[in-house]
Amino acid sequence: MKQGLWIATSLVAASLITGCGSSEVDGDNGIVPPVLSGTVAIGAPLAAELSIRGSHGCVVTLSTDANGHYRTSEIVNITAPYIIRATTEDGIALFSYSDGQTKNSVANVTPMTSYAVDYAAEQIGVDNASYLFGSFAINNDISDEIDDGVVTLNAVVGDAMEREGVPNFNHFETEFVADHTGYDKFLDEMDIEVFSDNVVIREGGQVLDTLPSDINGTVTVTGFVTNALLDANATDANLTDVRLSFTNANTTEVVEMSTNGNFSAVLDPARSYDINITKNGYISQSYTNLSTFELADFTMQSISLIPDSVSGPGTLNGSVINARTAAGLGGVTLEFRAGLNHKTGDVVATATTSEDGNYSIGTVATGVYTVAYSSEGYTTRYISATVLSGETTTLNTQLISAPELGCATGAGALATVILEWGENPRDPDSHVSGDNPDGSGRFHIYYANKRMTTPEFDAAGFNVEEPCSSEGVVASLDLDDTSSFGPETTTICRGYGGIFKYYIRHFAGTGTISDSPTNVTVTTMSGITQTWTAPADPSNVGVGNIWHVFNVDEFGNIFPINQFLGAQPDNITLSPARNNDERELFEYLPAK
């Protein structure tokens, strides 16, 4: 495949699969884990981020090297079969598949494997490979459909493969090097274009085949841009006449804000966007890797712009605590990168927390930064920080223990949810509902009923730092903050075939959930994190209002809802089985 054309037109996403998810015993070396390796290429090798998803919903993430090669033994933590998505900063996305029957497996990720995975998705009634990746824990038996896709593919490209001397090459499992010879030269010669309704394979400008590929609709992203010098709740904080350019590998979508500072961008699904935000008299801002791979509308956190008259250094301090115990965490490393959502690239400043979890760093240049908080045994968090000349910014956060990936056996947390907010309202509350283990209905976890357990639970052995290590814990409200800011932490340990639903209710304090602003971050057993900021909504009127944030199933699949119940009919749209809102849970709640 020609690199320039692919980067300009590709949409399909890549996944790699391999390994059997179990170890073998080696007489000399003891336990030897299975290994998955392969090449990610379009003719030219791709530097890509890989997500390998097993049949229990767990995900292993890693990166390719400069030659497009990857190798991992981390699949020992997940269960075969596997689907893998590979994505690049340029928005290229490819998929692959492995049944995991071989201990040391090869799973290449190329336009050819993506074609076969997309074909398999169509055959089982899933719109495309992107949707299949999201629902793979439910729809994971696709080996026969993959084989059919390869037969269909080879009928189209067989002559081209024979001309390059690779007529019997296994697209998925045969090793190759991205050096523009042999199979890789064949990839160089092929062009694949992905449109909203089909995938077209060309050779030398001639169409060889067209595969239907239905990625329905668009993704709407909303948010607002504020003046960094003003409080976000101030009536004049939102900026007007702001220009936002959303750019992916194919197109640029420009949004001009001219009224109240809110923006709404209609974007293509299954893309990775970079955003450039500009306004006369303000320092331009960038936001990298805004993903629409979740294929659902969402609201971004606010974007702050700094007047260009502001210059010089500021200072920053704060604290880092354990999200479940509120104890300070020492030895946490902070890394500062300029821009929003910049998780890689040059580090411009660092700091380390003291034993009590506090930190302080001075002489930080005026600007907006992405701060990475990392510590061994904890999941890394990325927080945005605005530093202004001559001022001290306080930035507090919390970390959760890194999830165990042994989810095939039920070990570790299915999901951990952190609720954070501002000074007002002072007390928004977390609520979780789920199916009772005995099938007798649904339970409700909240401030007056903080734990759902099965009969095996032994209260004497409960460990609040690792609630799911205690047998019989289904879900737990670990930390309930009642006096502004949070955190409030909830852990979901295991499901019984149904759907967990997560809500926020405004319990006490002035203002609204949206005004605060209120943020929810969920980290699943796979280590994947999603964050929501409460959307602006005219029905969000104060005490008693309810925000339905998301649902999660027993495999860790997340279904974003992000709607206030006051503005919705009794049954929210999409699948009623997953998304009806359960308003009855919030009737006659006891006082604290």
pLDDT in tens, 171-187: 999 999 999 999 999 98
Is residue 477 left, alpha or beta, with left meaning phi > 0 and alpha meaning psi from -120 to 50? Answer: beta
pLDDT at 2 over 50: no
Tokens 């097993």 sit on residue: 54
> Is 288 in contact with 342 (CB distance < 8 Å)?
yes
Q: Residue 136 has what pLDDT?
A: 83
Residue 204's Cβ-count burial label (10 Å; 0-12, 13-18, 19+) is exposed
pLDDT at 425 over 70: yes
Q: Which helix (H) or strand (E) holds 261?
A: none
Quote the percentage of the chain above a pLDDT of 90.
41
Tokens 């037109």 sit on residue: 9
Pairing status of strand 519-524 against strand 442-445 = unpaired
* Of residues 539, 537, 501, 496, the one with CA closest to residue 517: 537
- pTM, rounded to two decimals: 0.73
Q: Residue 204 has what pLDDT?
A: 67
Residues in the chain: 592
> Is 51 in contact with 82 (CB distance < 8 Å)?
no
Query: For the residues 536-549, what does the mean pLDDT come to?
Result: 84
> Is 395 in contact with 371 (CB distance < 8 Å)?
yes
Is residue 339 left, alpha or beta, with left meaning phi > 0 and alpha meaning psi from -120 to 50? Answer: left
pLDDT at 409 over 80: no
3-state secondary structure of 255: strand
pLDDT at 50 over 90: yes
Q: Terminus-to-terminus CA distance in the chain, angstroms? A: 63
Q: Residue 437 has what pLDDT?
A: 84
Query: What confidence tens digit (pLDDT) does each residue in 258-271 have?
Result: 567 788 899 887 67
> Is 561 in contact with 548 (CB distance < 8 Å)?
yes
C-alpha span between 423 and 484 (Å, rounded): 5
Encoded tokens for 382? 């990325």
Query: For the residues 520-549, what does the mean pLDDT come to?
Result: 83
Encoded tokens for 354? 């003291």
- pLDDT interval class at 199 (50, 70, 90): low
Query: For the residues 370-398, what does the mean pLDDT come to?
Result: 92
Who contacts 575 (Cβ-Cβ below 8 Å, separation ≥6)?
none
141 or 22: whose pLDDT is higher?
A: 141
Average pLDDT, the chain: 82
> Is 108 in contact with 40 (CB distance < 8 Å)?
yes
Tokens 């009928």 sit on residue: 155
Encoded tokens for 574? 């999409």
> Is 458 in contact with 478 (CB distance < 8 Å)?
no
pLDDT at 579 over 80: no
* Of residues 328, 560, 530, the one with CA closest to residue 415: 530
Q: Residue 104 has what pLDDT?
A: 82
List C-alpha distances in Å: 112 to 122, 270, 346, 488, 548: 16, 18, 35, 46, 40
Q: For residue 321, which phi and psi values (nearest 5 degrees)? A: -125, 165
- In 139-210, alpha helices (H): 143-163, 183-189
Handedness of CA 225, 226, 232, 235 (dihedral sign): negative
Name residue 430's amino acid.
Answer: S
Q: For residue 278, which phi and psi values (nearest 5 degrees)? A: -135, 150
Q: Residue 377 has what pLDDT?
A: 87
Classify each residue of 316-353 as buried b or exposed e, where b means 16 or more C-beta atoms within 10 Å of its C-beta.
bebbbbbbbeeebbeebebbbbbbbbbeeeeeebebeb
- pLDDT interval class at 489 (50, 70, 90): very high
Q: Where are the beta strands (DSSP E) in 154-283?
A: 190-194, 198-203, 206-212, 219-227, 242-247, 252-257, 262-267, 272-278
3-state secondary structure of 28: coil
Q: Residue 195 has what pLDDT?
A: 55
Query: For the residues 197-224, what does the mean pLDDT come to?
Result: 70
> Is 488 in contact with 429 (CB distance < 8 Å)?
yes
Q: Which of 31-35, 110-114, 353-357 has the lowest mean pLDDT?
A: 31-35
Q: Residue 498 has what pLDDT?
A: 78
Query: For the residues 24-35, what does the mean pLDDT come to?
Result: 59
C-alpha span between 191 and 205 (Å, rounded): 8
3-state secondary structure of 42: coil
Q: Residue 213 has what pLDDT?
A: 54
β partners of residue 433: 444, 501
- pLDDT interval class at 192 (50, 70, 90): low
C-alpha span between 140 and 391 (Å, rounded): 53
In this structure, how many other beta carbons lie within 10 angstroms of the beta carbon of residue 168? 9
- pLDDT interval class at 557 (50, 70, 90): confident
- pLDDT interval class at 574 (50, 70, 90): very low
C-alpha span between 527 and 391 (Å, rounded): 35
Query: For the residues 18-44, what does the mean pLDDT come to?
Result: 65
* Of residues 282, 316, 313, 317, the one with CA closest to residue 390: 313
Residue 493 CA, distance from chain mean position: 19
